[in-house]
Amino acid sequence: MRPMIPTRTLPADAASIQEAATILAAGGLVAFPTETVYGVGADALNPDAVARIFTAKGRPAEDPLIVHLAQLSDLPRVTKGYPAVVDHLAAHCWPGPLTLVLPRGPAVPYGVTAGRETVAVRIPAHPVARALIAAAGTPVAAPSANRFGHTSPTSAAHVLADLHGRIAMVLDGGPATLGVESTVLDLSGPIPTLLRPGGVSLETLRDLLGEVAVGGRAAPTGGQVAPGLLDRHYAPDNALHLCIGPDTACQAWLQQAARTQMAAGRRVGLLIPDEDVALFADLAVDIEPLGPASDPLAIAARLYAALRALDARQPDLILARDVGEAGIARAIRDRLTRAAATVHDGSEGVVF
Protein backbone atom coordinates (compact mmCIF):
# COMPACT_ATOMS: atom_id res chain seq x y z
CA MET A 1 0.00 0.00 0.00
CA ARG A 2 1.29 3.47 -0.92
CA PRO A 3 2.22 5.52 2.18
CA MET A 4 0.04 8.58 2.70
CA ILE A 5 1.57 12.05 2.50
CA PRO A 6 0.01 14.82 4.61
CA THR A 7 -1.50 17.07 1.94
CA ARG A 8 -1.93 20.69 2.99
CA THR A 9 -4.12 23.19 1.18
CA LEU A 10 -2.95 26.79 1.46
CA PRO A 11 -4.13 30.06 -0.07
CA ALA A 12 -1.91 31.04 -2.97
CA ASP A 13 -0.26 34.01 -1.26
CA ALA A 14 3.41 34.99 -1.40
CA ALA A 15 4.41 32.99 1.68
CA SER A 16 2.67 29.82 0.49
CA ILE A 17 4.15 30.16 -2.98
CA GLN A 18 7.64 30.37 -1.48
CA GLU A 19 6.95 27.32 0.69
CA ALA A 20 5.68 25.43 -2.35
CA ALA A 21 8.82 26.40 -4.28
CA THR A 22 10.94 24.94 -1.46
CA ILE A 23 9.01 21.67 -1.74
CA LEU A 24 9.64 21.56 -5.48
CA ALA A 25 13.34 22.25 -5.01
CA ALA A 26 13.49 19.31 -2.57
CA GLY A 27 11.93 16.95 -5.11
CA GLY A 28 8.36 17.07 -3.80
CA LEU A 29 5.01 17.50 -5.56
CA VAL A 30 2.81 20.59 -5.43
CA ALA A 31 -0.55 21.21 -7.11
CA PHE A 32 -1.15 24.73 -8.36
CA PRO A 33 -3.63 26.67 -10.49
CA THR A 34 -3.10 27.56 -14.11
CA GLU A 35 -5.51 29.38 -16.39
CA THR A 36 -6.46 26.03 -17.96
CA VAL A 37 -6.78 23.45 -15.15
CA TYR A 38 -4.89 22.70 -11.93
CA GLY A 39 -1.53 20.98 -12.45
CA VAL A 40 0.60 18.80 -10.20
CA GLY A 41 4.18 19.93 -10.53
CA ALA A 42 7.69 18.64 -9.95
CA ASP A 43 11.18 19.85 -10.83
CA ALA A 44 11.30 18.97 -14.53
CA LEU A 45 15.07 18.45 -14.43
CA ASN A 46 15.00 16.01 -11.49
CA PRO A 47 14.27 12.45 -12.72
CA ASP A 48 13.28 11.19 -9.27
CA ALA A 49 10.84 14.07 -8.77
CA VAL A 50 9.35 13.50 -12.22
CA ALA A 51 8.86 9.80 -11.41
CA ARG A 52 6.82 10.79 -8.34
CA ILE A 53 4.26 12.48 -10.60
CA PHE A 54 3.64 9.21 -12.43
CA THR A 55 3.31 7.33 -9.14
CA ALA A 56 0.95 9.88 -7.58
CA LYS A 57 -1.35 9.96 -10.60
CA GLY A 58 -1.07 6.32 -11.62
CA ARG A 59 0.03 7.64 -15.01
CA PRO A 60 1.64 5.32 -17.57
CA ALA A 61 5.24 6.14 -18.50
CA GLU A 62 4.38 6.41 -22.20
CA ASP A 63 2.24 9.52 -21.57
CA PRO A 64 4.63 12.53 -21.53
CA LEU A 65 4.45 15.67 -19.41
CA ILE A 66 4.33 19.37 -20.28
CA VAL A 67 7.22 21.48 -19.01
CA HIS A 68 6.14 24.89 -17.71
CA LEU A 69 8.44 27.91 -17.82
CA ALA A 70 8.25 31.31 -16.15
CA GLN A 71 9.54 33.27 -19.16
CA LEU A 72 10.67 32.88 -22.76
CA SER A 73 14.34 33.30 -21.88
CA ASP A 74 14.15 29.94 -20.04
CA LEU A 75 13.38 28.03 -23.24
CA PRO A 76 17.04 27.11 -23.97
CA ARG A 77 17.14 25.29 -20.61
CA VAL A 78 14.77 22.62 -21.94
CA THR A 79 15.13 22.65 -25.74
CA LYS A 80 17.93 21.95 -28.20
CA GLY A 81 17.29 24.80 -30.56
CA TYR A 82 13.89 25.66 -31.96
CA PRO A 83 12.42 27.11 -35.16
CA ALA A 84 12.08 30.87 -35.59
CA VAL A 85 8.30 30.53 -35.66
CA VAL A 86 8.40 29.99 -31.89
CA ASP A 87 9.24 33.64 -31.35
CA HIS A 88 6.28 34.64 -33.54
CA LEU A 89 3.91 32.36 -31.63
CA ALA A 90 5.30 33.44 -28.27
CA ALA A 91 4.70 37.09 -29.09
CA HIS A 92 1.00 36.38 -29.67
CA CYS A 93 0.21 33.40 -27.41
CA TRP A 94 2.61 33.33 -24.44
CA PRO A 95 1.97 33.54 -21.60
CA GLY A 96 -1.11 31.51 -22.38
CA PRO A 97 -2.74 28.16 -23.14
CA LEU A 98 -0.46 27.06 -25.98
CA THR A 99 1.95 24.13 -25.65
CA LEU A 100 4.66 23.66 -28.28
CA VAL A 101 6.39 20.37 -29.06
CA LEU A 102 10.07 21.14 -29.68
CA PRO A 103 13.45 19.33 -29.74
CA ARG A 104 14.36 18.02 -26.27
CA GLY A 105 17.30 19.66 -24.52
CA PRO A 106 19.86 17.35 -22.85
CA ALA A 107 18.90 18.51 -19.33
CA VAL A 108 15.35 17.17 -19.68
CA PRO A 109 14.99 13.58 -18.41
CA TYR A 110 13.49 11.05 -20.78
CA GLY A 111 10.89 10.37 -18.10
CA VAL A 112 9.37 13.76 -18.97
CA THR A 113 9.23 13.03 -22.71
CA ALA A 114 8.16 9.35 -22.70
CA GLY A 115 11.56 8.49 -24.16
CA ARG A 116 11.19 10.78 -27.16
CA GLU A 117 13.60 13.43 -28.45
CA THR A 118 10.89 16.09 -28.26
CA VAL A 119 9.56 18.01 -25.28
CA ALA A 120 6.22 19.78 -24.78
CA VAL A 121 6.65 23.31 -23.38
CA ARG A 122 4.46 26.24 -22.42
CA ILE A 123 4.47 29.46 -20.39
CA PRO A 124 1.26 29.63 -18.34
CA ALA A 125 -0.64 32.88 -17.97
CA HIS A 126 -1.81 32.35 -14.38
CA PRO A 127 0.14 34.65 -12.02
CA VAL A 128 0.36 31.99 -9.29
CA ALA A 129 1.82 29.44 -11.70
CA ARG A 130 4.41 31.85 -13.01
CA ALA A 131 5.33 33.08 -9.54
CA LEU A 132 5.79 29.50 -8.34
CA ILE A 133 7.98 28.51 -11.29
CA ALA A 134 10.09 31.64 -10.86
CA ALA A 135 10.47 31.06 -7.12
CA ALA A 136 11.44 27.42 -7.66
CA GLY A 137 14.15 28.51 -10.09
CA THR A 138 13.59 25.50 -12.32
CA PRO A 139 11.28 24.43 -15.13
CA VAL A 140 8.26 22.59 -13.70
CA ALA A 141 6.78 19.46 -15.26
CA ALA A 142 3.06 19.47 -14.56
CA PRO A 143 0.22 17.36 -15.92
CA SER A 144 -3.34 17.88 -14.67
CA ALA A 145 -3.65 17.28 -10.92
CA ASN A 146 -5.99 14.30 -11.00
CA ARG A 147 -5.70 10.53 -11.06
CA PHE A 148 -4.81 9.37 -14.52
CA GLY A 149 -7.65 9.26 -17.03
CA HIS A 150 -10.14 10.95 -14.69
CA THR A 151 -11.94 14.25 -15.24
CA SER A 152 -9.49 17.15 -14.98
CA PRO A 153 -9.54 19.45 -11.93
CA THR A 154 -10.49 23.11 -12.10
CA SER A 155 -10.45 23.79 -8.35
CA ALA A 156 -8.39 22.89 -5.29
CA ALA A 157 -11.27 20.71 -4.06
CA HIS A 158 -11.10 18.65 -7.26
CA VAL A 159 -7.37 18.10 -6.69
CA LEU A 160 -7.94 16.89 -3.14
CA ALA A 161 -10.69 14.54 -4.29
CA ASP A 162 -8.16 12.72 -6.48
CA LEU A 163 -4.71 13.26 -4.97
CA HIS A 164 -5.17 13.79 -1.22
CA GLY A 165 -2.42 11.86 0.55
CA ARG A 166 -0.30 11.61 -2.61
CA ILE A 167 1.17 15.12 -2.86
CA ALA A 168 2.61 17.56 -0.35
CA MET A 169 0.59 20.72 -1.02
CA VAL A 170 -2.22 22.33 -2.98
CA LEU A 171 -2.02 26.05 -3.68
CA ASP A 172 -5.61 27.26 -3.80
CA GLY A 173 -5.91 30.02 -6.38
CA GLY A 174 -9.65 29.74 -6.94
CA PRO A 175 -11.37 28.24 -9.99
CA ALA A 176 -9.45 27.91 -13.24
CA THR A 177 -10.78 30.48 -15.70
CA LEU A 178 -10.42 28.72 -19.07
CA GLY A 179 -11.44 25.28 -17.83
CA VAL A 180 -9.90 23.03 -20.53
CA GLU A 181 -6.29 22.15 -21.15
CA SER A 182 -3.86 23.96 -23.42
CA THR A 183 -3.66 23.58 -27.17
CA VAL A 184 -0.75 21.34 -28.19
CA LEU A 185 1.01 22.28 -31.43
CA ASP A 186 3.79 20.04 -32.78
CA LEU A 187 6.61 22.03 -34.38
CA SER A 188 9.01 19.10 -34.67
CA GLY A 189 8.05 18.29 -38.28
CA PRO A 190 7.89 20.24 -41.55
CA ILE A 191 4.26 21.35 -41.05
CA PRO A 192 2.91 22.68 -37.75
CA THR A 193 0.39 20.10 -36.52
CA LEU A 194 -2.40 20.55 -34.01
CA LEU A 195 -2.30 17.54 -31.70
CA ARG A 196 -4.75 18.67 -29.02
CA PRO A 197 -7.26 21.52 -29.35
CA GLY A 198 -7.46 23.86 -26.39
CA GLY A 199 -7.44 27.48 -25.34
CA VAL A 200 -5.76 28.75 -28.53
CA SER A 201 -8.05 27.87 -31.44
CA LEU A 202 -7.12 26.22 -34.71
CA GLU A 203 -8.45 29.32 -36.44
CA THR A 204 -6.04 31.53 -34.48
CA LEU A 205 -3.10 29.27 -35.28
CA ARG A 206 -3.90 29.33 -38.99
CA ASP A 207 -4.19 33.12 -38.88
CA LEU A 208 -0.71 33.25 -37.34
CA LEU A 209 1.02 30.50 -39.30
CA GLY A 210 -0.91 29.78 -42.47
CA GLU A 211 -0.88 26.02 -42.96
CA VAL A 212 -1.58 23.99 -39.80
CA ALA A 213 -2.32 20.27 -40.10
CA VAL A 214 -4.65 18.46 -37.70
CA GLY A 215 -3.36 15.31 -36.02
CA GLY A 216 -3.97 14.04 -32.53
CA ARG A 217 -3.92 10.27 -32.97
CA ALA A 218 -2.20 8.23 -30.30
CA ALA A 219 0.92 6.32 -31.34
CA PRO A 220 0.14 2.59 -31.63
CA THR A 221 3.12 1.64 -29.48
CA GLY A 222 5.76 3.38 -27.38
CA GLY A 223 5.74 6.85 -25.96
CA GLN A 224 3.29 9.51 -27.11
CA VAL A 225 4.57 12.76 -28.61
CA ALA A 226 2.31 14.82 -26.32
CA PRO A 227 -0.22 14.37 -23.53
CA GLY A 228 -3.96 14.13 -24.13
CA LEU A 229 -3.78 11.84 -27.18
CA LEU A 230 -4.96 8.57 -25.66
CA ASP A 231 -8.42 7.50 -26.79
CA ARG A 232 -9.75 7.18 -23.23
CA HIS A 233 -9.14 10.26 -21.10
CA TYR A 234 -10.89 12.90 -18.94
CA ALA A 235 -13.50 10.27 -18.05
CA PRO A 236 -16.07 10.31 -15.23
CA ASP A 237 -16.55 7.21 -13.11
CA ASN A 238 -20.04 6.68 -14.54
CA ALA A 239 -20.45 5.99 -18.26
CA LEU A 240 -20.84 9.04 -20.50
CA HIS A 241 -22.70 8.76 -23.81
CA LEU A 242 -22.10 11.62 -26.25
CA CYS A 243 -24.07 12.82 -29.27
CA ILE A 244 -22.24 14.75 -32.00
CA GLY A 245 -24.30 16.23 -34.81
CA PRO A 246 -26.90 18.89 -35.60
CA ASP A 247 -28.46 20.42 -32.50
CA THR A 248 -32.01 19.26 -33.23
CA ALA A 249 -30.92 15.71 -34.04
CA CYS A 250 -28.88 15.42 -30.85
CA GLN A 251 -31.63 16.96 -28.74
CA ALA A 252 -34.09 14.38 -30.09
CA TRP A 253 -31.57 11.58 -29.52
CA LEU A 254 -30.97 12.70 -25.92
CA GLN A 255 -34.71 12.78 -25.23
CA GLN A 256 -35.18 9.31 -26.66
CA ALA A 257 -32.14 7.97 -24.82
CA ALA A 258 -33.28 9.45 -21.51
CA ARG A 259 -36.78 7.99 -21.83
CA THR A 260 -35.46 4.58 -22.89
CA GLN A 261 -32.99 4.34 -20.04
CA MET A 262 -35.47 5.60 -17.45
CA ALA A 263 -38.01 3.02 -18.64
CA ALA A 264 -35.36 0.38 -17.93
CA GLY A 265 -35.09 1.68 -14.36
CA ARG A 266 -31.83 3.57 -14.73
CA ARG A 267 -30.98 6.94 -13.20
CA VAL A 268 -30.05 9.37 -15.96
CA GLY A 269 -27.78 12.41 -15.69
CA LEU A 270 -27.68 15.11 -18.36
CA LEU A 271 -24.77 17.40 -19.18
CA ILE A 272 -26.39 19.89 -21.54
CA PRO A 273 -26.47 23.55 -22.63
CA ASP A 274 -28.98 25.81 -20.92
CA GLU A 275 -31.26 25.85 -23.97
CA ASP A 276 -31.85 22.09 -23.70
CA VAL A 277 -33.02 22.07 -20.08
CA ALA A 278 -36.68 22.81 -20.90
CA LEU A 279 -36.81 19.78 -23.21
CA PHE A 280 -36.59 17.53 -20.17
CA ALA A 281 -39.05 19.34 -17.90
CA ASP A 282 -41.37 16.32 -17.80
CA LEU A 283 -38.63 13.83 -16.93
CA ALA A 284 -37.11 13.06 -13.53
CA VAL A 285 -33.54 13.39 -14.76
CA ASP A 286 -30.53 14.90 -13.00
CA ILE A 287 -29.36 17.92 -15.02
CA GLU A 288 -26.12 19.88 -14.87
CA PRO A 289 -26.56 22.89 -17.21
CA LEU A 290 -23.33 24.07 -18.83
CA GLY A 291 -24.26 27.58 -19.94
CA PRO A 292 -25.57 28.97 -23.24
CA ALA A 293 -24.74 26.94 -26.35
CA SER A 294 -23.91 30.26 -28.00
CA ASP A 295 -21.13 30.86 -25.44
CA PRO A 296 -18.65 27.96 -25.71
CA LEU A 297 -16.13 29.84 -23.55
CA ALA A 298 -18.62 29.71 -20.67
CA ILE A 299 -19.25 26.02 -21.34
CA ALA A 300 -15.52 25.27 -21.36
CA ALA A 301 -15.07 27.05 -18.03
CA ARG A 302 -17.83 24.97 -16.46
CA LEU A 303 -17.34 21.66 -18.25
CA TYR A 304 -15.18 19.70 -15.81
CA ALA A 305 -16.77 21.11 -12.66
CA ALA A 306 -20.24 20.21 -13.95
CA LEU A 307 -19.12 16.75 -15.01
CA ARG A 308 -17.55 16.08 -11.63
CA ALA A 309 -20.65 17.36 -9.79
CA LEU A 310 -22.95 15.17 -11.83
CA ASP A 311 -20.65 12.14 -11.56
CA ALA A 312 -20.51 12.52 -7.77
CA ARG A 313 -24.28 12.01 -7.60
CA GLN A 314 -23.73 8.61 -9.23
CA PRO A 315 -26.28 8.37 -12.01
CA ASP A 316 -26.30 5.06 -13.84
CA LEU A 317 -25.28 6.89 -16.99
CA ILE A 318 -24.60 10.43 -18.24
CA LEU A 319 -25.89 11.81 -21.54
CA ALA A 320 -24.30 14.81 -23.28
CA ARG A 321 -24.04 16.59 -26.62
CA ASP A 322 -21.35 18.80 -28.03
CA VAL A 323 -21.72 22.39 -29.27
CA GLY A 324 -19.82 22.35 -32.56
CA GLU A 325 -16.18 22.69 -33.54
CA ALA A 326 -15.52 26.40 -34.05
CA GLY A 327 -13.01 28.02 -31.70
CA ILE A 328 -12.86 26.46 -28.24
CA ALA A 329 -15.87 24.27 -29.05
CA ARG A 330 -13.38 22.00 -30.85
CA ALA A 331 -11.63 21.46 -27.51
CA ILE A 332 -14.94 20.75 -25.75
CA ARG A 333 -15.76 18.14 -28.41
CA ASP A 334 -12.32 16.57 -28.05
CA ARG A 335 -12.59 16.25 -24.25
CA LEU A 336 -16.12 14.86 -24.31
CA THR A 337 -15.25 12.39 -27.08
CA ARG A 338 -12.28 11.02 -25.15
CA ALA A 339 -14.35 10.91 -21.93
CA ALA A 340 -17.23 9.06 -23.58
CA ALA A 341 -17.96 5.35 -23.41
CA THR A 342 -19.95 5.68 -26.67
CA VAL A 343 -20.33 8.39 -29.33
CA HIS A 344 -23.48 8.79 -31.47
CA ASP A 345 -24.41 11.02 -34.40
CA GLY A 346 -28.08 11.60 -33.57
CA SER A 347 -29.43 9.77 -36.61
CA GLU A 348 -29.31 6.30 -35.11
CA GLY A 349 -31.48 4.56 -32.60
CA VAL A 350 -30.62 4.45 -28.93
CA VAL A 351 -28.23 1.51 -28.68
CA PHE A 352 -25.37 1.64 -26.16
Which residue range is the domain that position 328 belongs to?
240-344
Could you read off the pLDDT of 98-127 as tens digits, one per residue? 999 999 999 999 999 999 999 999 999 999
Rounded mean pLDDT, 218-229:
88
| Residue 2 pLDDT class (50, 70, 90 cuts) | low
Could you read off the pLDDT of 273-315 as tens digits, one per residue? 999 999 999 999 999 999 999 999 999 999 999 999 999 999 9
Number of structural domains, the chain? Answer: 2
Alpha helices in 82-227 (DSSP H): 85-93, 110-113, 127-136, 156-163, 202-209
Q: Give which of 30, 34, 35 is closest to 9, Cα–Cα.
A: 30
Residues facing 79 on adjacent strands: 104
In a domain, 63, yes or no: yes
Please tell me whether residues 56 and 180 are part of one structural domain: yes
Rounded mean pLDDT, 137-166:
97
Q: Looking at the predicted structure, is the pLDDT value of residue 350 above 80?
A: no
Please tell me whether residues 195 and 251 are part of one structural domain: no
User: What CATH code is carried by the domain that includes residue 333?
Assistant: 3.40.50.11030
Mean pLDDT of the residues in the chain: 96
pTM above 0.75, yes or no: yes
Please tell me whether residues 178 and 78 are part of one structural domain: yes
309 vs 158, 215, 218, CA distance in Å?
Answer: 10, 31, 29
Q: Is the dihedral of CA 330, 335, 337, 342 positive or negative?
A: negative
Structure-model confidence comparison of residues 58 and 4, the more confident one: 58
102 vs 80, 185, 202, CA distance in Å?
Answer: 8, 9, 19
Q: Looking at the predicted structure, is the pLDDT value of residue 176 above 70?
A: yes
Q: Give which of 220, 242, 216 is closest to 229, Cα–Cα.
A: 216
Please tell me whether residues 66 and 188 are part of one structural domain: yes
In a domain, 2, yes or no: no
Please tell me whether residues 286 and 335 are part of one structural domain: yes
Please tell me whether residues 45 and 128 are part of one structural domain: yes
| Residue 231 pLDDT class (50, 70, 90 cuts) | confident
Q: Give which of 89, 49, 41 is closest to 69, Cα–Cα.
A: 41
Instruction: Tell me what percent of the residues of the chain surpass a pLDDT of 70.
Output: 99
